[in-house]
Amino acid sequence: MSKTEWPACKVEMRNVSELVPYANNSRTHSPQQVDQIAASINEWGWTVPVLVDEKGMLIAGHGRIMAAQKLGIEQVPTMTAKGWTEAQKKAYVIADNKLALNSDWNLQVLTSEIDSIARLDFDISKLGFDDNELSKMFNDVFGVTIDNDFKIEEELESITVKFSPDVKIDVINAVTTAVKDILSAEVWTGE
């Protein structure tokens, strides 16, 4: 398949009512996840077209279509996989979901980004992480368990950071301030 034949080369609006979910889609979407997708669409708009075959059968984007229905969206951007075999369509329904699951998070970068986003007064619940996931990330990165009895000052007192003698005091102060800022961020309290 040449680059000029890629489905993403042409995006067209289609009626949601004309799209047919793939009957054997093995990926499930809980009502909570559909709500998360709907909140994402409300925040950022429709950012990724769904993929359909020439007859309008969904290949990728089942959750987005469920969210569109929930929101009363009548038309959505689509891409059409032209000339794909049945095997290619069936395989991509699985691959589209599984390949994304094969990646990992850099937890230091992720927690830093979430902290940064929270400090900009953005509702981090729209990121898709629940309070338990945030608490686990915080624990994995900083060794601190967050719950309703969490006391920031007590945790700060228990943190020991060791520096070699050649590290300048400005670096030590910057690291200490950063750790205190992260530990005191509202994002970690689950509120």
Run means of pLDDT, 10 residues per run, the chain, 191 residues: 75 97 94 95 96 96 97 97 95 93 90 87 90 84 64 51 53 60 52 43
Q: How many CB atoms lie within 10 A of CB 73?
A: 15
Do both 133 and 97 map to the same domain? no
Give the per-residue pLDDT at 135.
84
CATH number where 92 lies: 3.90.1530.10
At 10 the three-state DSSP class reads coil
Give the per-residue pLDDT at 89.
95
**Which residues constitute the domain of residue 54?**
3-101
Do both 61 and 124 map to the same domain? no
The angle subtended at Cα 57 by Cα 46 and Cα 33, nearest 5°, is 45
- Count Cβ atoms within 10 A of the Cβ of residue 40 and give its class: 0-12 exposed, 13-18 middle, 19 or more buried: middle
Give the per-residue pLDDT at 116.
87
Give the per-residue pLDDT at 82.
93
Q: How many distinct structural domains can be found in the chain?
A: 2
Q: Give kind and range of the element (H or E) at residue 60.
A: strand 58-60
Query: Which of residues 101, 132, 158 is at a domain's end?
Result: 101
Q: 165: which 2 tokens?
A: 């003698």
Give the per-residue pLDDT at 191.
43
